[in-house]
A and B are shown apart, each in its own frame.
Chain A
Amino acid sequence: MLRAMRLIAFRELWAYLSAPGFWISLASVPLFMLLGMSAPLLSERAAPVRHFVILDSDAERAARLAERMEEAYWREARSALAAVVRIAAPDKADDVLATFDADPSQAGLDAAIQQVELFRSGIARGFDAPRRQFVYEPAPADSIDGLRPFLTGDQKLPSGADLFAAFVIRTNADGELSAEYWSENIASRDLRETMSGALLREARANAIRLKGLDAAAVDDVERVRVNITDYKPSGTGENGGSTVSLRDRLPAIVGFFLAFLLFNAILSSAAILMSSIVEERGNKILDTLLTTAPLQSILLGKLLGVASVSLLMIGVWGLLGSLVSFGAVQAGAIPQPVIEAIWQPGLFLAFVLLFIAGYVVFGSVFLAIGSTCETLQESQSFMGFAMMIIILPMMMLIPALQNPDAGYIKALTWVPIFTPFFLLVRLPTELSLIEWLGPVALLLAFIPLVLWLSGKLFRAGALGEVRASEILARFGQKAKTGAPLPAE
């Protein structure tokens, strides 16, 4: 039995290794990841720079608005810096940001980065402020009519740039601000939205001034920030706890990623298993196999073979990821602490075990269903329903990541077919013993039951006692192909 199982598993593995589709799948994930990672960077670099002018009878106000637009840019730069520094040097993040906050400008940013460089952090050392999207230009004319040739692109600005938009700022008799936005491009709203924020600040400052308060004092008040630091009470650091950084949250993200990987692996394995068994069922190779090996050997051999395909893929991706990470650390592109935060041996071990459990459960069901089908069309009718069952946990994964203790997420973790997905996301959240051991025990108890039921259906399907075409016909679906007569 073991010999037959090994031979069948090896044949399945070899069949997929020799198919171009396998290599395409193998290459596609790293390629798409690379594309996904570089997309924001490419998008930022591809975004055009918008040059704008402000027409305002109050020159001081126009200058203030331009200044507020500048502030908006540096707020964006601060967010980017904070995201990087909190990963690269979480212990010094507050100091670095305080340095920047003291002087939110290029000089302040340089000073802040200089501070991080002392810690030799790769990302921070290579940090660049976001590309400036909006550039204020002195207006080359004092009316819209005068600006029109610039706005339509017939004339360049004195700086040589194209004028993207002009804001005309007015004040009514009651001192209320209003603005006109002039641009040939009505689709892009980013500049308009940013100026809207600057105008709101100016309007509020104006309103405060009208009430007799000092505008400069108002500006100072507006710049006041409150930092909230997260602590974990179970830690032993300051205040009887330890601070929480993105590094603490990374394992949960890794868990989410692994759950997603599990979903992908099961999805692709299911398709492989189904098509494989349908081919063998359809052309009676299964009949020949049944005379050469016990049914259990065929079932387990196929499961093992396709699992090897998936594990091989995951292994190659893992190895590739490790090599890239190692190279990135060596090159200083990724700080060591980030890798340490991602590399969770316990979580990866759990992934392997949950992958095997999840794969056996879903794989055996798909194999059993496939054994009743004689054509791929028939199998697809069942795949639709089966896919809905797999997609359900996928839809819940992000809520599970955001709120792993929600009642329904906890409940779904106990459903054996969903356990592998939700447990991976919830494991890094320090579950109690019963919360992880309970669902795992239930899952382990569920596996023999599923294998037994699948074995029964597989046998009935393989022997032609249960036919998908008949089941579909009962559900009112027209079977795509006629079933042969039972006798011959």
Chain B
Amino acid sequence: MNENLITIRNLKTWFDTPRGTLRAVDGVSFDIRKGETFALLGESGCGKSITALSLMQLVPEPAGRIAGGSVHLDGDDILQYSEARMRDVRGSRIAMIFQEPQTSLNPVISIGDQIRETVLQHTSLKNDAAKQRVIELLDSVGIPDPKRRYEEYPHQLSGGMKQRIMIAIALAGEPDLLIADEPTTALDVTIQAQVLDLLKKIQADTGMAILLITHDLGVVAGMADRIGVMYAGQIIEQADREQFFKTPRHPYAEKLFASLPGDMKRGQALAVIKGNVPALTQEFTGCRFVERCDYALPVCNDTVPDWLDSDVSCHRFDPNWQKLFATQQAQQMQAESINRVEPAEELLLEVNNLKVHFPVHTGLLRRVSGYVKAVDGVSLSIRKGHTLALVGESGCGKTTAGKGLLQLLPVTSGEVVYDGMDLCRQNASTLRKLRSDLQIIFQDPYSSMNPRMLVGDIIAEGMIAQGIAKTKQQRNDMTAQLLQQVGLPVDSVNRYPHEFSGGQRQRICIARALAVNPKLIVCDEPTSALDVSVQAQILNLLQKLQSELQLSFLFITHNISVVEYLAHEVAVMYLGRIVEQGHVDEVLHSPKHPYTQALLSAVPVIDPATQQEIIHLEGDLPSPLNPPMGCHFHPRCTHATQACKDHYPQAVSFSGTHTVSCHLYATS
């Protein structure tokens, strides 16, 4: 068990770019033992994926090259292998699964044939025996009815199923090491729980080692035996799971934990890591983290920290320097408390029975053959200065609900009452005036700004459209003030969006929304494209703005810990309808609906003590084109009865605020 399967020493992968040599991986060393799970943890751009690709010798050439180091697999340095020899290693010794199962499968070949290709390549099986093996593999990754599925094509499968197929392909060569590059990032939590469980089960059965690459501390806590933390192309700390989660040592790891949102931190500002990851094109003369570190001393600036015997690369733990740090207490930022707005009772906006149906056209004459009921009768109420979180898996209609509420999509029926007016029944000019009160922030800060406009023009656009500031001077003043409010330098106005990082762009988007003095902002997963430390900055900013400006947020997200941290009220959506809503503590701490219970149990948690028994949901989210009869959730529900199949349950009220739509609690 303790024998090393793969030994990586001083691996360097460099990219030649017009701006100089980019040292994406700069001296990485670690071992993976047989049968263990080693997790590489780090934020985007730190070199995790490039490390994995280097092991497989799949670094994109000619831009990238492996500049040095060794990778010993069972004693042989595979970096010295020729491409032809390496091909035998790939798939049969080391296999890999990727983040996006959608793009990893060939859409025009049936899934059975795609798996069989690998079987034929790496085993001596032929014809029927190979097909038999494929069916076994499909069975082992938990695909129901594998014989029939053999003939199916990738588009007929859901995301979770596709990731299972990818795992089956990886397993076909019976590899010793499986590299899983963010295997569940593109999946929903309930599906993520299924896939992670599957990986664990396969590992127990076959005894293969897993190199898990992820940015999610929760996934690491559930999966890894040992952990390597990467930062700016280097591993800065290695530890066992228990040790790491008990006492992370490197200041960066420490900060990562501190920046995670959660209900414990409600009402406080989250810790943020100041600054940005340094450019990897430079020569480092000191610690790479020095500019962002709270403990930094002059020595960190001039001396590159060595890899210490205690498996961490930081001067604080170096016996030579330790004394210096003993006197130097970290300039720890006190968790600054944020004036949490207490809910006013005044209602800002009320949504009654909102329906957004998209017609489906088929046939030559494009007749309407059915409707995708993306949002099918949603009722919400948002109070002044309040945050309502709308939670659900992808495809449940939460974004459509948000956009329908803002009248950005044609609403089929229902009403959205704001300021005594039903927004769905206003004419274009009245609605145009009302738009300044209701704004939206999008998920992807990269696509939400016109790349051809200057930041100043982007922010001023809403003011011009709404006639808020009449003169150019007024607009410029307001823009400068807004930029300060969101924590950006005033000279940003004359730059283009692509010059900013993801977090900064999200700040610009917030400034743009604030420019028209809104009362309500729909935040559509504003932090899910960002790294944890950046997410903390944005969440802090949103909280600050809420307390300063008495804003209301409709916060659309699938991230439960953000909800715990930020929301006052929660509504859980499933297939176009709200199944449970209530105060945040009620819903998250005593969930009543079986779906809410399963969803919450599937969220990976860091502290193993709080890990609940995961309630596994069978199958995937049904299609909103053809929702199940009765309660939408009954095919996946363990408590389903005949009543659930017959009709949709009425909402049952538990307290003044907490309501659930489930037959389990039907009073009659």
- Does chain A bind chain B? no
B: which residues have CB within 8 A of A?
A: none
